[in-house]
Structure formats: structure tokens, C-alpha cells
Structure 1
Amino acid sequence: TRPAPADDGSTRKRPSPPPEFQALLDEVLRGVLERRGTCLSVLSNRAAILCAAWSPDGRHLATGDMAGRVHLWKLQSPGAKPTLIQEDTTGSAPGVTALVWAARGNHLACCGNDGGVQVMTVDKMEAHLLRPPYKAGTRDPWGLQLSPDGELLLGPYGNDGAGQGDTARHAAVLGVAREARVPVGDPGPAQSPRCAEVLDAAWAPGGERFATAGLDEVGVWRVTRREPRYTVTRQETFPVEGVRTVAWHPREPALAAGGAKGVVVFRGSGAELKQQHLETPDAVDHLAWSPDGQWLAAASTGTVRLWHADSGLLSNVLHVKDPSPGGLTWNPRRRGVLATWSGNLAQVWDVESGRVLATLTGHAGSIHQVVWRPDGMRLVTVSSDATARIWDDRRGGPERRGTWEEMEQVLMKVASPIPRQDYPLEFPLKPGAPDTAWAFYSPTDPSLAAIPDASSRSLCLWKGHDLRTAPSARGHGLAAAWSPNGRQVAVQDGPRTFSLWTDSGELKARGKEVDGDLMRWVWDPESRFLGLVLRDQPGPWFWDLTSEAPTRSPGKERGALKDLAWNPSGLRLATACDDGWARIYDVRSGCTLDTLLWSLRLVFPARRIAWSPDGQFLATGDAGGLVGIWDSRGYDLVACPQEHKGPIQHLVWNRSGSCLFTANESGRGLLWRQGSSDGRWVISAVLETEPTALRWATFSHDERWLLAMEADGAGIRRHPAEFEALVAQVASRRVPRRVREEGAPPRPAMPEPAMAAHPPDAGEADPGSWWRGYPSGSSPSTESHHVQ
């Protein structure tokens, strides 16, 4: 609690909030700080939850735990206790490993670690046992599969027909509505079948056939339904080395098998059999066709590969965070949406773009299964931490994505009207088009835009805001940078040339050539010099507007220069070098690196550098993804956690210098905020849902929101940037509710979020500028631009 003034002028501590309020605040802060999907419900249990199944209407959820119990949760009644099926009736001790819920007859089947299978009828949250459980199973069962019509099960089988001491996994066809059990195997002596080894099994779409993955072979079996019994006969056998999993195409007679050397797809049969080999660097552990049959997904060590079903061409490779995949499952309704899980983390992907739509975190133990609701609008994760969490994966990531015109209307509703001079300074003429030209607005005249034309190598100065009426231009690969005083604009003509124009359209210098490819350029605060970063050049180059000549001032750099930035006073210049050092020079004399003041050692080669607007802090980003925040009064490192993965591409300060946005090349971003009491820098939000490469990022004029432009200009993303905005955003959603089984132990205490201890002061909205839209994120007087 923070001190509060008393009536007599002294200070006293505010009383601690009640436990109920603190629990609610913890949930809100968890959502704020994690921001990864929205957890709608947390169902607490006594033992680790191993599996789950949704009811056909999606209103109920069944969970199976390590203690051999099945719980039925009524999700439409918050806080209602679940219905418990006692241990002695499940026949599934010491644990329920698989659950399936059939729409026909509302039958629920469960399988235990002892191989026993129980079938129940669920009516009004009450489960009625149809018969004694199917016993005589095998230890470590492979799973449970329901036929498409819901009449038959593929389940574990053992003892009967298996040789004495046989510990291999076997399968049997089991009846659902009526009792029947037929082992899967070939006829043996005395009508006793030789059971086939089964590691995985899958039904064909018609329900008349199924496939099994066994010892280096795939078997295809036919089920003949003749009252009052069923028969199972082998149709075909395909050799597949190290086969672990099988999956049928949902619409075509195609069977995929995942093994030690990749995936094999079988089409046709007999003489017309065709095989297609899809190679992977590691063995395939999980395999699944998309519901529309367009993609085939295979999970192996650290990756999920996707192929087009028709052509067999590799479509995408998804890199999961844990090298050991737990599984994958397609959304039944939303096209191209795939969920994967490993460790205590689950991710939802858009397979076409490879973007992460949501990252679901919060489990303290490993996730055992992820199951989509039948309508595809929710999903549940079950974990060894004895909880099941129900998620809305569509609420993570940016608050909104859209065009600037749409974003402007949103911002005008949540904040005061935006002055024209506070607009972002860079917009595409044709959003999303690969050859679009960009309009670069003057920092002093918000209606004046410079539009470079690649076809004529010229510059068009245009006044206006409706870019639909702007003159057509082809500007792919070209860029421009206005001087801070708005009187000159530098335009890139080619890889090694640039021109200088005035704000009246007068050409001051054309086609000035430098000794290397132009990578970045930065104006000094007084608009006298243009600092240049050239490819593979060890030091900075300068263009003096007075002498109109490029000069090179050698410094202490021993590698390629990657970035540079003037401090707001223009008296110091900071450089980021590939040799792993950031250096600060005294540049009082102009274009000469007179004196090396400080050298800051980074862990990896430096990539980006940016001063805070008041010059107190210096931010650095390196190739290893580490962000450093340095206090310029002694250049002490005040913050440097290892959070990013990949080289840092963007460092953007807000106007007050109290918040920093950092992002890597893939667009994964972090929001850093300085505590109001002790000045400690902490990460207030992780922005990684739907990551995409960014062209620029900037804070809104009231500093409550962060806007990020996608690299191709197709859209702008809006993220809450101010603490109160974050809390308001999460609190306005459905707060996760906890449903705890009676007698369940309390959950372990959640570590206190850093922002909860030191929330920043709200303060008044202080109109700022949009200079932060430039990729380098330097101060208003150190306007910089990244040349494409």
C-alpha cells in the first residue's frame, strides 16, 4: 500500500484490500501483464487433469484426472459444483487418460490407465452407467477413438487373445449403445486371434474402416456389422519405418502415417495404390488433417510442418517454443486455425500466414490436452497443475487492427481530438501493395507530404490528407527523411545515392553518391548535418549542408556500424557497432567525433540505439534480442532482461520518456515502464500475438496507446500502453471465474506482478508529437529513418 496523507498532515498507510478484491485484482493484473489470450474460467480439481471432452452442444465439459475420476462441469452456471462420478464406478483407476463424447445418444466414454473402458449416458448432468466396464485391458493404453456415427469405439485390449506376458498395446472394437468387443488381429489357431500391436488408430470418414499404426507397419481394417455381432478383417498392410501415428483425410480415401523419416500419404488401394513421401528432419509424433482437407499438419521436434493436401508442397513451418510437442488440434469451424501445446504453454496459429493468434499461458504444470469446443469459439487446456482453463483465443494481441482512418475514429472516441500536427508522419498510398509509394509528412507542416517516385527518380511535394487523391507514384524501395526544422527533405535515389530538396520543391543536391549501400540516416537536432550509416562501414559518414560534401570521421569502431543517434542537445552522438560496443562521442564541433566519452559493452553485436526525449536514458538493442536501458548520468545499466528472440529492430520512446517500446524483426514487442516511486524499469506488457514485421511504431499524443504500422502498410495495430488503459481493457472483459471442486486444495500463491507494487501515476494527458513513428525511435530532434 502507498502512503496517504492524513487530516493532520502526517502520512499513514492505506489499509490492505480484502482478500476477495485482491484475488480479483490478481486476475486482472495477470491478464494485463500476460495479455496472452483471455482466460474465461479456471476449473480447479484435487488431482492432475489428464483429458477433457466437450458435450455436443458445448454447454458442458467432462474432465478426467489422475485419481480415476470423471467430473461433469455445467459451464452455464458460474460457481456450480461439478458432478462427480465416483472412482469405484469408472473402472479407470489409477487415472482417466481419454474421454470421448458422442452426440448420438449423448454417450460419454472414458478410458483408464488400466485399459478399462466405461460407457455412460449423460442426462441433465447425471451419468448413468450402461453396463459394467470393458475390463481385461492393457497397461499404458494407446487411447480412445469414436466412430463417425457414434456407434463404435476403438479402445485398448489385452489379456484375451494376447500371449501370456504380452505387454504390447492392442486394440478392440467396442460397442457403445450395446455391448460388443471384437479384438483387432488376424485369425489364429482355434479361432483365437493374433492381436496386432497398436500405437495409434483412426477411423475412416465413413466409419466402415479404420487404420492402426503398429510395429513398422500400418494396417487397414474393415468392420462388418451383422446383428448381433461385429467382425473385423484386415484389408491391407503398408510398411512404414518407425510409424507412430495415423490420420485419415476427412473427405477423400487418403491415409497419412507419421514415422521416423517423415510422413507417408497413401491414396487408392491394390494396383492403384500411390504413395507420397513428405520428409521431415525428425520423427513425426503427431499428425492431423484440417477439417476441410486442405492442409496436413505434422509435429516433430520443435516444429509443426504443413503441406497442401493436393500438391504435397510444403506450405509453412511453425516453430513452437518447446522442443517436445505435446500435440496439435485443428479448429473445427474456423478455417486454417491450429492449436499446439508443449510444456505449460499452448499456442493458436493461423497456418497460412504462420502468425501466432494467441499464446495461452498461466498453467503451473504441463498441459496434457487441448480441446476445441464444437463451435470453434472456445478451447480448453487441461494440466497437471489440477486445473482446466477455458479460453477465448480471439481476444489476445492488439486491441484493434485496421486502417489509419478507422484507427483515427477509435482514438477520437477514447481520447481528445487529435491535432493534425500530432499525426504519424509516414503512410502508404496503397496499403498492402508490394510496390506502394509512401507519403512522408513534414514535422512542421502537417499537410505537406513528400512522395518519392521510383520510376522517374523524382520527388512529388503534395498537400493533403486523403491519400486516395494523392498523385500516383511507384515508390518501392525509396524513402525520405525531413529535417527537424522541416526545411529540407533527403530522398534516396538508389542504393548508394540520395538527393536533397527544400520544402518549396527546389533541388539542392542530386544523386550524391557515398562509398557504400545506404542503410540508415539521421538528422542532427539543428538540421545542419545528416548522419549516414553505410553497409559494412566501420564509422559514420556525415553530409554537411553548408559544404554539401560527405565526410567521414573515424571513431573507435572495429566493426560495421549499425545505427547512430544524437542526444536532444545535439552535443553527443551515440553509435551502435557490430563489434558489440555502443559508444558515446562528444560532437560539439559538428561532424567530428572529437572525444570518446563512454563505451558500453553489450552481450551481442549492437543493432539499434535511441535516446530518451529528455536525454536521461539511452536504450540499446543487440543481435541476440537483449535490450539495455542506460542512465546517461553515469551510463549505468539499469535494465537488461533477456526477453526478445531475434535481433532488435525498433526502439521507440514516448514523449515523457517514461515508456519504451522495443520489437524484434518479427514484430514481437515489449512495453517497458519506469516505476513512479523507485524508478525501476519493468516490462508492463508482452505484445506477441499475431506478430508481423513492423515499419514504424509510435505512441498516441496522450501516451495511452501504442500504434504500430505493418511493414507492407496493410494495417495499423493498436495496443494499450498506459497502465490504467491496460487495466480498463482487461477489466471490461469477462473476468476469469474460478470453480473449485469441494475439498480441492488452495492454489499456490501467484507471484506479485511488478506493476502491482509500483503503478505509474496517471497524470494529465500531455499532447505530444508523432515523431516516434520513425523506426529508430530516437528523440524528436534526432529524426531517423530506416531505408528499405
Structure 2
Amino acid sequence: MAAKIQKTGIWSSNPGTVRGAQTCLEGDPKGKKMLYLNGNNVIIRDIEDPTQVTIFNDHARATTSARWAPSGYYVASADERGMLKIWDPNNIGEAKVKEYQPISGPIMDMAWTEDSKRLVVVGEGRENGGAALIVDTGTSCGTISTLGRTSTCDVRQKRPYRAVIGADSYVVKLFEGPPFKYKSQYQEHNNFVQKVRYAPNGEMFVSGGSDGKLFLRGGDQGELLKDLGETREKGKAHIGSIYGISWSDDSKKILTSSADKTAKIWDVETGQAVTEFTFGTDLEHQQLGCLWQGDFLLSLSLSGNINYLDPNDPSKPCRIVQGHQKRIVSIAVNEDRSKVFAGSYDGVTTWWDSKTGLAKTVEGRKKPTLITQIDYKEGKLSTVGMDDTMRLIDDQTLEYMDDSCGLDSQPQSVCRGSGGLTVVGGIQKVTIVRGSNKASVLEVTYNGTAVDIHPNQSEVAIGDEMGNIHVYTLAGDTLTEKTSFKAHCEAITRCRYSPGGEYLAVASASKAVEVYHHHCDYAQDLDRKNYKHNAKITDLAWSPDGKHYATTALDGSVYVWGLEKPNPIQAMKVHGRAATNCVVWLDNASFVTGGDDACLRTASVTF
């Protein structure tokens, strides 16, 4: 059997969110799956089992909206350039993708007609912010006239068709068709209109805005039926902006989510809120989207958490799906490889169950701001970030410890050893930390871009920005230079001792990786310069048995190397269009990678 790398799973990112803007969270017609966006990706997950993940990554720019066709056979998605793509969610990567550009700017929302043949889109075009088109050909089927930013739209799911849009000009407009043409407009809102949604039966639609108001209107003529929440505090449905609206299947109730950090269920007949869900008091608890799919009620937090709601216990979510929103820069694994820790550049650290692929966010009072690198040893995780601080995470509590260590220079690399030892490579300084206390600082003439501790803890190898490796003997908390050598012609990005300590593998920005013999005064092993990556190498990790090592690169590739052969086993575009930033092994035949798509990907290798 030929040696190969096989992709085996996706540990998904969570929705990307922006404060002050509604976030896409949609469902499929069968009520089984949810759809959301992160970066260039459209992510589809099973609601009952969110570990079942499918990703569409064909967009070249950041995605802005997506919607499932009523037939269930197509999804329409759009990006910040205004590119609209129609694709088959059941056959991603194989079926043909249709592409149109109906407006000249970002498409913020879209809606299908009930026959899945027409599409209405709105956004921020230079000449017009809306369009109606026939899906098969891309030709126009009416005029959606709107100026300025238009954030939301929907289409009545029965004939005669009606399209409704909501704009930042505080206006709600109604169109009839096809071909769609202007019918009437309404301006009860006194701030941006963030969301409009028709009831499944088409008899009504509701609009919510940044004014906290929620208006219910007739589905055919748009006449005002109710001002939901007019009897509540300040005469508003929510005291913050309304960003999410979703109807129950029977069109009798509405779920809303708001920046006031609550979600509410409204009874359409009485116009009253019958249930109010609370999430917390912090900024990250603002709710930017919601979805009602059958028995499942979901609300989306600014932090990216997907909250599963239980009307019988509205005081807290009955389940929270967590993950990363920004690119993952470093990952580590505990001793028995049951937990994978991941850090993203926005300061979020998560731990993942390697068996289930589900994540929990590491909490604690002293969280970092921007993470540079993480490393694990003996029940503790050391993290360093752009705030010039090293912090510790306890493996048992899975929280940041209260103690932290301030560093004298910006850290660029970290390695954790036994006995509470952490070595931090920084700008012209190498810092030895014991526990959370600074033990010693070594002044150097280079920047420590990579660092690793020998398994017997007798030596420390540090790579610099000029391609040199500096080897130090470690006695207590004192480093003494032993030797240095030129390993590459460009900056060292990662250096790693093999588990047994016999070899030191060194990767660099020059796209090459080399292996050196520790017991032979770091003599070079096989020459691998003819088998480079096609882009800068970002990480390197040895398999537990020390027979192979994996490298990742900015071009999204993963190479697995053996000690006996210079040529690697290659896998390209592991993270789609995104770079692959880091890798750890789960066992001798499988590994996990983290990338710019904020996802972790699992793969197996056959030698």
C-alpha cells in the first residue's frame, strides 16, 4: 500500500462575530442542521451532534451571508466582494458551483422564493443595494431599489410572492412580484433595521432594529399588526439592539436575540414575551443571532458560543458549543493525548477532547490578550503572548491560574519542561521561569524565534532570526552556551528534539527542514534540501515513537517525514484556502493540525 495522508475529521470553528452587527445563523429545511460563517468558510453542522461538520471554502474573500434553499438541494452564499455562489451542500467539492455578482459590494443577506428558483439579495452596493435574480441563469427578475447599507431581507414562502427588506435608513420596504417591484415602505423604526423575517405560513413578517423595537406586520399588504413589547420597559421589546429573529414552525411564536444579553420567546397572539433567557453580564454575552429549528432553540453570543436554550430553564443554556473564532497559532497535547489544547491569536485558549472533538474554552480572571505560543508538561500549560506575560493553565481546573510572570521582552517562543520549568525565547533575552516566578534572564544578541528543552533537561536549543541554532547546557536555572551552528539561511521557525533525545529537527522560513544528531555534536543527518515545502514552515512535531515528524506550512500543506528517507509524505491544502500553523500527534499514525480557518483538522498517515 502506498504511503499517504488521509483527512479524517474537522473540529470546527465557531461563528465569526462583529460587535454591533447581526450574524448569520441559519437552518436547513429539514430542521436538522445549522449553517454559519467564519472567515472564508461556510460551515454546516448537525444540531443534535455538532461534531458532524461540513465546510464549503470556495470563497476567496470573507463570507458575509448564506441561506439554504427551501428544496434543501442548494445553498447560496456571498462574500464581501459581492460574489454570490450557488452550491450543493450534499456534494461539496464535486458538484459545479454557479457564480454571479448581482451587486458591486458586500451582500449582507439573501432569501429564496419557495420554489428555489429565485433569489433576493441585499447589501452595500455602489449604485444599488439590492437585486432579484433567477438562480439558473443569473438574470434579473425585478428591481430591489434601496440606497445605502441594507442589512436584511426575506421572501414570503407562498404566492403571491412578497419581498421585504430592512435598511440602515430606518426604513422597511415591501416589494411584490415576480418580477419584483416596489409596493410600499414603513418607518416606525428610529434606528437601523437589523432583521426582517417572514413567518413560515407567510401571513406575517416581523422587523427588529437597533432601537430595540419589534414590529409585526401583515404578510401581504404590510399593515402594522402589533408593536411587540410596547407595554414593557421603555416601550421596547429589548433594551438593546435586536440582531436575531427566528419563527417557530407553527408561526405562533418568535425567538429574538439582542445586545442586551438576553433572548426572548414572544407569543404572536398576545404580543407578550413568554420566556426570557439570560446569559451573563459581560460584553461577550451580547446575543447576535438566533435559530429555531424544530425542538432546538439556539442563540449566538458575541464570544462565538452557540447556546442551546431550554424554555423550562431559561436561567442558563442547557448546552454550549464552543470553539475558536480567529486563526489558531499554537497547539499542544497532554501526556496521555486525551486533551488537545489550542490557542488563537485573539487570546482564546480551548481544550478539546481528542475522542469526541468537542471543545471547552479555558476560563479564568487573567486571560492573555494575544497568544504567541503554548506548551504543555506535567499537568500545566504555559502560554505566552503579546502582553509580555507568561501565564499558566491548570489541567485539572482548566482555568488560568491567578499567578502570572511578567517578561522583560516580547516573547516569541516557549517550551515547558519538568519540575515547573519554562524557557521563554524573546527579543534579545532568554527567560527561565519556575512555576510562575522568574528565575533568571540571559541577555543574548539575537531574537529567540524557537526554543526546545532536551528530554533529559540537560540542554536547551534556541533558534534565531538569522537561521542559527544556539545550544546551552542547563544547570538548575542557569544557561551556559555549549555550541552554535548555522542550520538554515533564514529565520528558524521551530526546533524540536525527538522524544528520545537522539535528534534535533529544525525548520525555517526558507521552507526547508533538517535533522541533526545530538550525540554526534549536532552533525547533520540526511540532506533534505531537495524536498522543501512550497512556503514558510510554521511548525514541527515528532511522533510519540520518534520515528517520524510532521511539518506544516503557510501554503496549507502538511508533510510527514521519516528518518531513513529524505522525501516526505505530502498532503496539500489541509485547511482549504487557509494556512496550516501548527501540529501535534495523537498517536504514531494520526495527528491534529490548526490553521488560519480557526479549525482543527485530524488526519491519519499510512506508512
TM, length-normalised to structure 1? 0.34
Q: Which has the higher contact order (CA 8 A, sep 6+)?
A: 1
Q: Name the structure where strand makes up a greater proportion of residues.
A: 2
Q: Which has the larger radius of gyration?
A: 1
Q: Name the structure where helix makes up a greater proportion of residues.
A: 1
